Homo-oligomer: A and B are copies of this chain.
Amino acid sequence: MRKIYLEDTPLHEAQEKYLNLFQFQPRVEMVPTMESLGRITAEPIFAKVSMPNFHASAMDGIAVKAEKTYSANEHSPLRLKLHEDYEVVDTGDPIPEQFDAVIMVEYLHQIDEETVEIIEPASPWKHIRQIGEDIVAGEMILPIHHKIRPVDQGALLAGGILQVPVIAKPKIAIIPTGTELVKPTLDLKPGDIIEFNGTVFSSFVKEWGGEPIYKGIVIDDFELIKQAVLEALEEADMVLMNAGSSAGREDFTSSVIESVGEVIVHGVATRPGKPVVLGKGYNGKPIIGVPGYPVSAYLALDWFVKPLMHQFLGIANPVRRKIKVKLGRRITSKMGAEDFIRLNIGKVNGQYVANPLTRSAGVTMSMVRADGLLRIPIQSQGYEQGEEVEVELYKPLDQIDRTIVFAGSHDLTLDLLASAIKKVDAAYSLSSAHVGSLAGILAIRKGENHVAGTHLFDEKTEEYNIPFIKQYVGNQEVILVNLVYRQQGWIVQKGNPKEIHSIEDLTKKDVRYINRQRGAGTRILFDYLLKQAGIAPNQIYGYMREDFSHLSLAAAIKGGNADVGLGIYSAAKVLDLDFIPVAEERYDLLMTKEFYQSELGQLLMQVITSESFKNEVESMGGYSCRDTGKLLLG
């Protein structure tokens, strides 16, 4: 069990040190202009022909000799003869050599087939596109290191450029390492991990103008990995090794790089992303050991691979748009490393509000869900709730402006809702954070979300939600509408091996319960059920074990590390588990009146009251839409 020393180089130092190490000698290749979209010019491109290449009519009309028309006026119209005094020309037609002006068709009075009359003289060179009006032969059409757009292709072809010298796409070799890795499959054995980073890396490389070379999975064997890297150093311009860049038992990345070149930096002072290895091959090419955890991996690509590829192509490394946001929650940071926090961002009451997603480097979905990224400096201890910070956007701002921000209790109909909104108008979307009912209500009070989903049962009044809203929201004008009624019950293993039939069965010695987090409506329901049955929480093994959503609670039971939990029918159904009904409860949507009356709010109401949405919800099972869309408060 050996331990490889990881340095803590600050990110900007690592970037400065590493990115300036390489002087690429890009290859130049000729491509047909028609296929040059998105490529980078390798030299300035000068026109070979003029456009137009002849004097052309700029209008539909007749070509004339201007000085022959000078006598025309309203009192003495002038008659002109075809083939003698004029020729008919359309837009784009060449002007016959003897003529030097065009009269527009609108100003002609046709006398007969061969005669027209004019009452105004023509001006020389009027309505004529002279040679080179658009492009003059010899003129620079595009500078060097310019990314070719559709309009550029037009100008190149117009200027007689049929082939363009462009910079060859950098070849980036991708080597996933790890004995646990398997090709994407549904037939997973315990310990198998689907190799998906290779696909993500390949796609990023394509987006950044490169050509990925996927080398296939290499098992944890020093010699095999070294062999793959040596091959890659021959054929590619840059080598990416994936996984094995932490300091674990089977991590060969840094030692392999040392054996074929030099390790420049091993470990940067960031969270996540720390265990990156920055190296240089014997032939001067970059070799990067990209961390195995997906989030660490994608950040490391952004920090090192993207700028190197743009250096190779000779174009600016694209920067993301930055905006100021208000933090919906406190975010702490340990000093000594920069923190990179993925965020959900929404525009609530005219202000951008951001809430952190999970900080776990292993959660791919946090990258899928992220709207932006917050960078916390190395010496900072974080930010307070409500503080304004600058964040980098992962999505266009207009998309964020049209997102309904949901925070509250988790329910599977929210996924249906997200899709139903997109179907009505693709410009809109729903982003949801599963924080529990109470946190959702509090977020409404703090102006952090548009909508909260809540199913809080009040023991005293035996009423849902309204007592809590009155207590926690204060004087704000709010609207409460019903979304669904849903079945809550015991989620258990297929076949119910522990024979759970009532709440008393949860106290049996071999039964491991899994609970929901504090503030969750389901937790409150469970506490109420315990109280009614006269059972104390400490009689339940696992009462303290908390999970954050119905689905992940069900997954824990499916995985065998718990026997039972309270949850909704649809979660049990999705994971093919058994379900013992306990109670039907009301799940409502809370929103401010302002949001309710806004375009976004009206869209939401339109969707949930549509028959198609209600039918879809009920067909999941365990739901009733008998009151969906009904106004309950406000």
Residues of A within 8 A of B (CB): 1, 3, 33-34, 37, 43-44, 46, 48-55, 58, 60, 88, 90-94, 100, 105-106, 108, 110, 125, 129-146, 149-158, 160, 162, 178, 180, 184-186, 188, 190-194, 196-197, 199-204, 206-207, 246-251, 292-294, 298, 310, 314-319, 321, 360, 362-365, 367-368, 396-399, 402, 415-416, 418-419, 422-423, 426-427, 429-430, 545, 549, 551-552, 554-556, 558-559, 561, 571, 574-575
A551:B132 contact, CB within 8 angstroms: yes
- Identify A200's interface contact among B93, B151, B551, CB under 8 A: B151
Q: List 4 tightest A-B contacts by C-beta distance, closest first.
A: A138-B574, A131-B559, A132-B555, A157-B196
A153:B426 contact, CB within 8 angstroms: no
B552:A136 contact, CB within 8 angstroms: yes
A419:B94 contact, CB within 8 angstroms: no
Selected A-B contacts with CB under 8 Å, 20 pairs? A33-B199, A44-B419, A46-B415, A53-B192, A54-B191, A100-B561, A130-B556, A134-B364, A134-B365, A136-B554, A139-B415, A140-B419, A141-B365, A143-B430, A146-B422, A151-B200, A151-B294, A153-B196, A160-B184, A315-B426
A559:B92 contact, CB within 8 angstroms: no
Q: What residues of B have a CB within 8 angstroms of the CB of A365 in the complex?
A: 134-135, 139, 141, 155
Q: In whole angstroms, how far apart are the Cα atoms of A416 and B613 in the complex?
A: 62
Q: In whole angstroms, how far apart are the Cα atoms of A186 and B144 in the complex?
A: 22
Main secondary structure of the interface of A (DSSP, over half): loop
B133:A360 contact, CB within 8 angstroms: yes
Q: In whole angstroms, how far apart are the Cα atoms of A561 and B95 in the complex?
A: 12
Q: In whole angstroms, how far apart are the Cα atoms of A293 and B60 in the complex?
A: 13
B555:A426 contact, CB within 8 angstroms: no
Quote the shortest CB–CB distance from A179 to chain B (angstroms).
10
Q: In whole angstroms, how far apart are the Cα atoms of A149 and B204 in the complex?
A: 9
Q: What residues of B have a CB within 8 angstroms of the CB of A191 in the complex?
A: 54, 93-94
A199:B162 contact, CB within 8 angstroms: no
Q: In whole angstroms, how far apart are the Cα atoms of A105 and B146 in the complex?
A: 51
B151:A248 contact, CB within 8 angstroms: no
A186:B160 contact, CB within 8 angstroms: yes
Quote the shortest CB–CB distance from A374 to chain B (angstroms).
17
- Identify A88's interface contact among B152, B249, B558, CB under 8 A: B249
Q: What residues of B have a CB within 8 angstroms of the CB of A250 in the complex?
A: 90
A426:B316 contact, CB within 8 angstroms: yes
Quote the shortest CB–CB distance from A554 to chain B (angstroms).
8
A157:B90 contact, CB within 8 angstroms: no
